[in-house]
Chains A and B, each alone.
Chain A
Amino acid sequence: MKNLKKAIALMAAFAVAASVLLAAPTVKAEWEGAEKAATLEGEIQYMHSGDDYEREMYAGVFASYMELAPNVKVEQMYVPSDYYTKLQTLASANSLPDLFWMGESGIRQYYEAGMLYDMTPYLEEYPQLTEDIIDGVLDYGNFDGKQVAFPKDWTSYVMFLNLDLFAEAGVEVPTNDWTVDEYKDIAAKLTKMTADGKRVDVYGTAINNYRADWINWMGNFEAEWFKDGKSNLSDEKALQGLGVMYDLVQAGSAPSPGTVSSTGDSEDRLFIIGKVAMYPTGRWGIPSFRAECDFEWDAVEMPKGTTRVCPFICSMVGIASTTKNPDAAANVLSYQMSDEGLVQVMGSALSLPVYNDLMANEDYCNTPPSAEPFINSAAYLGSDSQLAAAQTGKWSEYNSIIYSNLSDAFEGNVTLEEAAKNIDEQANTTLFAD
């Protein structure tokens, strides 16, 4: 009897192990830094933001790293809110953690203050870091030929679709090759009024007064919206791009951002509750959509203008120049960026790997929604204007100028042309005067 129980227990254990192994994600390449990790020692502080889910994911990454580097202790500094204020405070006190996250547009200030370690030699030591990396993503962390920050991931900007609303309205679901004109047309068809005809019940689409939207739409019309170190939103092509957002609001196919915020809500919530049929946003929206949408949904690429540009939205990782243990810090980064490290993070679908080969792998770019729009957008990621504006180190204030003036236009207080003129005038006389 005892033997039978033992046999059953063994079989059960085997079944569990087999299922875990079968379900385990495929790690394409062995991590190249394992041998060195075993020889390293010391303590590394790693500071990052994000939600509680991300905190847990990174806790997992650090735990598995520490198994390979038994003499290295990674201290996770998780900052759920006011991340950049806290980072600046630490920088000001000369107490930066060894590794920390920064937005793709906020690196210059840290670089100019000499606070970032030049990790260029480590790119040579760990070739896997840059092997098959998506074109252009390294540029955002490269200053004067020095790689001072590394893109840990990126997030594609796509259009999410409520398929039930399409079916209800009898409108054909767009495919990845759709155009801006088709988008406007579909948005109008999907917009539904309330029974009394006085208010909009379901909006065809929504816009965000947010950098990803501006960069996407202006880029889709080949606009050089930041040119020769100056703001250039009055450019005809930039106006054409921003005009897509403006026209949708004017036509009533999309709520103005002010209207949405005056509900105390946000555009993504409206999509989740079925009040917006098509919603452009980044991959970060997927976990909420998966958990909360009680309708069929999918995603397609953003509609094409004269071309396509996907904004580069990313968190970069920097190593503090004050680190006492750059070797261990680089080793941790190398592990985080390895297939083994990334697979623990990408399952969440919050972001995408910066490596082309991993983009096509379901374990790193999982579904739903369809992976194709995300994979395709890697081919047109970023633009010269975005890179130049990001590297001025003044993006935050420039961003605020654009936001404030465009909000005035979207609420109908000024025309789009007036708003763009104000933006250029204000930015070029204050921020980019020299």
Chain B
Amino acid sequence: MNNATTVKRGLTLRQKEAITGVVFIALPLASLLVFMYYPIIRSFIISLYEWNLLTKPTFNGIGNYQTLFKDKVFLTSLWNTCRWVITYVPMSVITSFLLALLLDQKLKGAGFFRTLYYLPVVAPIVVVALLWVWIYNTDYGILNFLLEKIFHLDPIGWLTDSRFSLFAIAVMSVWKWAGYNMLIFLAALQGIDDSIYEAAELDGVTAWTKLIYIKIPLVMPSIYFVMLTAVIDAFQMFTEIFIMTKGGPGYSTYTVSYYLWSCAFEYSKMGYACAMAAVMFVIILVVTLIQNKVMDRQVRYDV
């Protein structure tokens, strides 16, 4: 007599389930291999060649990497990217967290404000960039108008003065993306059990103490996640620069991603661009590992 778990063709239920499982993961796995891992590996290989897409690639060893660290534009771009990460990430995380704290209050119209703060996230980046281009306009922008009216300041070239351009774009990006991280923080804050607050209130804790000793520790997994993704995103910043300044004035808003794109698709230097991508990969990996090491100690998932 056949075992109850054996099917007609001789496969056990476990084997059948295993095959089904493999079939289900085969497609995403294949797409991951083809569209993610293969390009990464291929990109590392291309970085060892000189290749303009038209002629046969010629092996160049570590030549591209050597050139990279002598290339002033790359070094400027790398410096700008680091400045961007240092400026944008804290601004973005703090703003999102503050917004989430505000919306976590049980106030009337919180839903309206949640939608309002989230709106820039769903607005196309091109539209947002053009809107801010107008806000930042030296002669007719509302920002300079207000600064002149209130503080009697001379017009500032927010996007044309190399001292301000990167910071100005960072402010725009914070405005654009704050709503996204805000939702993550808000979900975490609203996930905190009310009984914890009630117990704390019985002990007479202040709002500040509640924030420091209850809210922040309990949303630390979200802060960790947001910090990690924000840093990775910041290192890859491209679209805002492409639309708003094209890297200018001078090279003041060149980022590695923008320079990489220029080398690959404007100058046809694929090998060189891939070397840049490899360097960025290593930098992001190292920074993420450091973040992991430092922040992992602060994160508790068991509360």
Contacts and interface: CB of A to CB of B under 8 A. Distances in A.
Interface of A: 85, 88-89, 91-92, 109-110, 112-113, 115, 199-200, 256, 258-259, 261-264, 394, 396-397, 400, 403-405, 407-408, 410-411, 413-414, 426, 430
Contact of A256 (B71, B73, B160, B246): B160
A88 B159 contact: no
B136 A88 contact: no
Contacts of A258: 157, 159-160, 248-249
Contact of A91 (B54, B136, B160, B161): B54
Nearest to B136: A262
A128 to B, nearest CB: 32
B54 A259 contact: no
Interface string B145-183: 000000000000111111000000000000000000000
Given A404-B250, A405-B250, A262 B137 contact: yes
Given A200-B139, A397-B266, A408-B162, A109 B249 contact: no
- A-B pairs with lowest CB-CB distance, top 7: A408-B250, A258-B160, A113-B54, A411-B249, A397-B267, A407-B248, A264-B133
B268 interface: yes
Contacts, number: 96
Nearest to B130: A264
Contacts of B133: 261-264
B229 interface: no
B251 interface: yes
Contacts of B72: 426
Contacts of B254: 404
B262 interface: yes
18 contacts: A91-B54, A109-B54, A113-B54, A256-B160, A259-B160, A261-B246, A262-B157, A262-B158, A262-B159, A263-B137, A264-B130, A396-B267, A397-B266, A407-B248, A408-B252, A411-B162, A411-B248, A426-B73
Contact of B138 (A91, A112, A259, A394): A259
Contacts of A256: 160
Contacts of B139: 199-200, 259
A115 to B, nearest CB: 6
Contacts of A85: 265
Given A91-B53, A258-B249, A413 B137 contact: no
Nearest to B139: A199
Given A109-B52, A113-B54, A113-B55, A411 B134 contact: no
Most chain A CB within a 10 A radius of its CB, from B141, B158, B245, B249: B249
A212 B261 CA distance: 24
A46 to B, nearest CB: 20
A262 B248 contact: no
A430 to B, nearest CB: 7
Contacts of B158: 262
B120 interface: no
